[in-house]
């Protein structure tokens, strides 16, 4: 194998595929990048048995071949080389030689035949969407996935296509994030739960552009295809939460508030909420809604905090307790200038919604307040 390519193109490819390298494994081959030539292009592949990534790039192929090299070592060497042409070849001792100007590195390689094949996916249903739209949707829901492996289905995001509308839903038992968008191309109805880890890495690869990405699913695998890169991942088994039945349709108290103003208030209040000397204790913030006003309070051993905001209110007065982090995560994921915050009772879920449309809903469960 002998190739010549420019550093910038190779770095772009490596930045994509390294996200599929296994970090903790007893199989050294999974710590490597499979490099294969095909005519005048090379294909780089990584696979940690959960997420697999392929990237194809054009380059000058002087001699066909394939090999596997440690991903971290190879990537770091390429990253630190000068911004010019790089020659990469496999010598007679199966060492990978990397040449650039006056630099020469030789790396040990592994047998490419031992590298596991990526699952072959027979796509049953698929959609196409702009990369920037998907990137936006993932960023605004992924924070609400669970980290609890005891409920693996909630460690992923639900992709649900219904009536040509894509909904992304994440839930962790304490909150729910929902984003919706209409698709421009006709699609069948289907759903799949994609691991959160996959979506985090996918979001680092896709660009903030109008370039399309195709999402295809089979019975137990999903495929994301774009430009010269494709990602395969398993689909999580199990029954996802019936989110439509848990999001309240009615409210008893509603406020309309400037998003930045209430976000800033929660930011400041959380300084007191999270600064307790008893780190294991959770101190909720108290939210009080009165006519034309919302008050946010917190008290613990560190001190007291109180913020008042004059807002538009509808319905009954209310008092409820919440984890301020959940409010902040939801508010940070919103671009709107104003939002509705809807309450049922002091023990009912609270909703953060758009004033303008129904493109998103964030649901937060309250925390019971101790009686004074």
The rounded distance, in Å, linking the Cα atoms of 102 and 10 is 19
* Model confidence at 282: pLDDT above 90: no
CATH of 125-242, one of 3.90.1170.40, 3.40.50.300, 3.90.1150.10, 3.10.150.10: 3.10.150.10
Name the percent of the chain lying above pLDDT 70: 97
Q: Looking at residues 254-273, what average pLDDT do you find?
A: 93
Which pLDDT score, from 0 to 100, does residue 368 have? Answer: 82
Task: Indicate the burial class of 195 (C-beta count within 10 angstroms; 0-12, 13-18, 19 or more).
Answer: buried
The pLDDT assigned to 275 comes to: 58
Task: Over range 191-195, report the average pLDDT.
Answer: 97
The average confidence (pLDDT) of the chain is: 93
Low-confidence winner among 8-12, 77-81, 286-290, 301-305 (lowest mean pLDDT): 301-305
Measured CA to CA, the distance from residue 181 to residue 185 in angstroms comes to: 12
* Mean pLDDT of the 162-172 span: 97
**Whole-number CA gyration radius for the chain:** 25
Could you give the CA distance from residue 241 to residue 247 in angstroms, rounded to a whole number? 11
Where are the domains positioned within the chain?
2-114, 125-242, 247-364
Residues 263-288: what's their mean pLDDT? Answer: 77
Q: Averaged over 245-274, what is the pLDDT?
A: 93
pLDDT for res 65: 97
Report whether pLDDT(97) > 50. Answer: yes
Average pLDDT over residues 16-37: 94
Q: What share of the chain in percent tops pLDDT 90? A: 88
Confidence of residue 25 (pLDDT cuts 50, 70, 90): confident
- Evaluate if residue 316 carries a pLDDT over 90: yes
Query: Do the domains at 2-114 and 125-242 have one common CATH topology?
Result: yes
Residue 135 predicted with pLDDT over 60: yes
CATH of domain 2-114: 3.10.150.10
Instruction: Give the mean model confidence (pLDDT) for residues 259-278.
Output: 83
Report whether pLDDT(271) > 80. Answer: yes
Mean pLDDT within 290-313: 92
Residue 281 has pLDDT above 60, yes or no: no
The pLDDT assigned to 190 comes to 96
Instruction: Name the pLDDT band for 277 (thresholds 50, 70, 90).
Output: very low
Q: What is the pLDDT of residue 300?
A: 81
For range 313-335, the mean pLDDT: 94
**Cα–Cα dist 25/291, whole Å:** 58
Mean pLDDT, to the nearest integer, of 131-147? 97
Q: Beta strands 175-182 and 165-171: pairing type?
A: antiparallel
Q: Nearest 10 degrees: CA dihedral of 149, 285, 330, 350?
A: 90
Judge whether residue 47 has pLDDT over 50. Answer: yes
| Residue 287: both structure tokens together | 């939210």
Confidence bin at 280 (pLDDT 50/70/90): very low
pLDDT-based confidence at residue 303 (cuts at 50, 70, 90): confident
CATH class of 247-364: alpha beta
Nearest in space to 1 (alpha carbons), one of 110, 72, 71, 95: 95
Average pLDDT over residues 112-127: 95
pLDDT of residue 150: 86
Average pLDDT over residues 151-165: 96
Q: Which of 299, 262, 307, 287 has its CA nearest to residue 366?
A: 287
């Amino acid at each position: 194998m002998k190739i010549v390519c420019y550093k910038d193109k190779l770095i772009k490819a490596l930045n994509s595929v390294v996200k599929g390298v296994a970090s903790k494994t007893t199989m050294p081959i999974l710590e490597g990048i499979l490099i294969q030539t095909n005519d005048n292009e090379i294909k780089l592949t990584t696979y940690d048995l959960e997420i697999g990534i392929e990237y194809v790039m054009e380059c000058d192929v002087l001699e066909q071949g394939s090999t596997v090299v440690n991903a971290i070592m190879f990537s770091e060497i390429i990253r630190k080389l000068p911004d010019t042409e790089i020659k990469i070849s496999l010598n007679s001792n199966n060492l990978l030689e990397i040449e650039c100007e006056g630099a020469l590195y030789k790396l040990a390689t592994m047998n490419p035949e031992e590298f596991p094949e990526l699952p072959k996916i027979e796509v049953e249903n698929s959609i196409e969407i702009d990369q920037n739209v998907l990137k936006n949707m993932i960023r605004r829901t992924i924070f609400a996935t669970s980290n609890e492996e005891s409920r693996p289905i909630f460690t992923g995001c639900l992709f649900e296509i219904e009536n040509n509308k894509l909904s992304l839903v994440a839930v962790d038992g304490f909150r729910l994030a929902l984003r919706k968008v209409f698709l421009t191309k006709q699609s069948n109805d289907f759903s799949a739960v994609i691991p959160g880890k996959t979506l985090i890495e996918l979001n680092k690869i896709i660009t903030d552009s109008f370039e399309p990405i195709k999402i295809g699913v089979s019975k137990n695998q999903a495929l994301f295809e774009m430009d010269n890169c494709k990602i395969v991942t398993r689909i999580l088994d199990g029954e996802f939460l019936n989110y439509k039945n848990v999001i309240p349709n009615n409210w008893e108290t509603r406020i309309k508030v400037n998003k930045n103003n209430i976000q800033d208030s929660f930011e400041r209040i959380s300084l007191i909420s999270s600064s307790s000397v008893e780190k294991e204790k959770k101190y909720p913030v108290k939210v009080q809604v009165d006519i034309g006003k919302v008050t946010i309070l917190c008290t613990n051993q560190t001190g007291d905090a109180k913020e008042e905001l004059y807002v538009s209110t509808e319905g009954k007065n209310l008092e409820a307790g919440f984890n301020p982090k959940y409010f902040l995560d939801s508010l940070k994921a919103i671009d709107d200038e104003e939002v509705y915050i809807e309450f049922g009772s002091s023990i009912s879920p609270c909703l953060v919604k758009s004033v303008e449309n129904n493109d998103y809903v964030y649901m937060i469960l309250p925390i019971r307040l101790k009686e004074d």
